[in-house]
């Protein structure tokens, strides 16, 4: 049986790239999406050289026109059964005096862009009776952990968590929508001092992307276990 095709945003480095590699190594044709197509294509070429089915697409989740173009390109390749909303931005500063553009960008990347992708791709998943959507959140987006992080990061990740619950309600049990925290991972965003590898950060995303039909939906997870909102 053919495995579901995956689309992963923010995937030319870090956790996103680790998610692409894991999915592709497990037999899922994977669309590696990146704002910088040349960077995405370089990684896709490397992975195809290892025999993996990986295609790079240009996608800036902060731009509706870019989302529309990427979705159209993906549909020409084939149906998407897995969506991983991984792209993220981290802005420093105080919410009261930081540039409005930084706040708008965080809202677009963490909330509006993921919603637009779900609205574009989930109806086809629902029509096929199967789909998996993974929203890359953070412990900084959890009220239980105090909404941490600088600038708009924490509250926009909290909004992504709320969106996860609402989408799970509206899509029903066959299209599973879950949020996850990767923990503190050694990436450009996480820094060299983080204790976790990108592979460790990607593991729960892979698990949620390949849940069985009786798996959870509308939840928040880390290390394959539920965590508090």
DSSP 71-120: HHHHHHH----EEEE-------S-TTTS-HHHHHHHHIIIIIHHHHHHHH
The catalytic residue positions are 153
The predicted pLDDT at position 185 comes to: 66
Helix (H, G, I), strand (E, B) or coil at 225: strand
- Higher pLDDT residue, 187 or 14? 14
Q: Per-residue pLDDT tens for 198-208?
A: 899 999 999 99
Mean pLDDT for 109-129 is 98
> Residue 194 — pLDDT band, cuts 50, 70, 90?
confident
Spatial CB neighbours of 152, under 8 Å, sequence gap ≥ 6: 91, 95, 98, 102, 103, 106, 107
Q: Which residue has the tokens 């996850």?
A: 180
The predicted pLDDT at position 146 comes to: 85
The predicted pLDDT at position 151 comes to: 93
Sheet containing 175-180, strands listed edge to edge, beginning at the edge strand earlier in sequence: 54-58, 30-34, 6-8, 82-85, 131-136, 175-180, 220-222, 225-226
Whether 19 contacts 96, CB under 8 Å: no
The predicted pLDDT at position 26 comes to: 97
The predicted pLDDT at position 58 comes to: 98
| Whether pLDDT at 86 is above 90 | yes
| Whether pLDDT at 30 is above 70 | yes
Q: Per-residue pLDDT tens for 125-181?
A: 999 999 999 999 999 999 999 898 999 999 999 999 999 999 999 999 999 999 999
The predicted pLDDT at position 1 comes to: 65
Report the chain's mean pLDDT, rounded to a whole number. Answer: 95
Beta bridge partners of 15: none
- Sorted by where each starts, the structural domains of the chain and their CATH numbers stand as 6-226 (3.40.50.720)
The predicted pLDDT at position 27 comes to: 98
The predicted pLDDT at position 118 comes to: 98
């Amino acid at each position: 049986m053919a495995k579901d095709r995956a689309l992963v945003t923010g995937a030319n480095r870090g956790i996103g790239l680790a998610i692409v590699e894991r999915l592709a190594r497990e037999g899922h044709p994977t669309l590696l999406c990146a704002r910088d197509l040349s960077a995405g294509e370089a990684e896709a070429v490397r992975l195809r050289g290892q025999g993996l089915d990986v295609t790079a697409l240009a996608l800036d989740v902060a731009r509706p026109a870019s989302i529309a173009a990427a979705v159209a390109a993906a549909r020409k390749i084939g149906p998407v059964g897995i969506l991983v909303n991984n792209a993220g931005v981290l802005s420093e500063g105080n919410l009261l005096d930081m540039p409005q553009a930084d706040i708008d960008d965080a809202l677009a990347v963490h909330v509006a862009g993921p919603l637009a992708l779900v609205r574009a791709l989930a109806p086809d998943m629902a029509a096929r009776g199967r789909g998996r959507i993974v929203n890359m959140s953070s412990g900084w987006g959890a009220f239980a952990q105090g909404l941490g992080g600088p600038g708009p990061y924490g509250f926009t990740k909290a909004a992504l968590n709320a969106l996860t619950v609402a989408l799970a309600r509206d899509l029903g049990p066959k299209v599973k929508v879950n949020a996850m925290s990767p923990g503190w991972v050694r990436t450009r965003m996480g820094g060299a001092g983080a204790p976790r590898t990108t592979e460790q950060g990607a593991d729960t995303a892979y698990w949620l992307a390949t849940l069985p039909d009786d798996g959870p939906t509308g939840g928040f997870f880390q290390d394959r276990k539920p965590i508090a909102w």
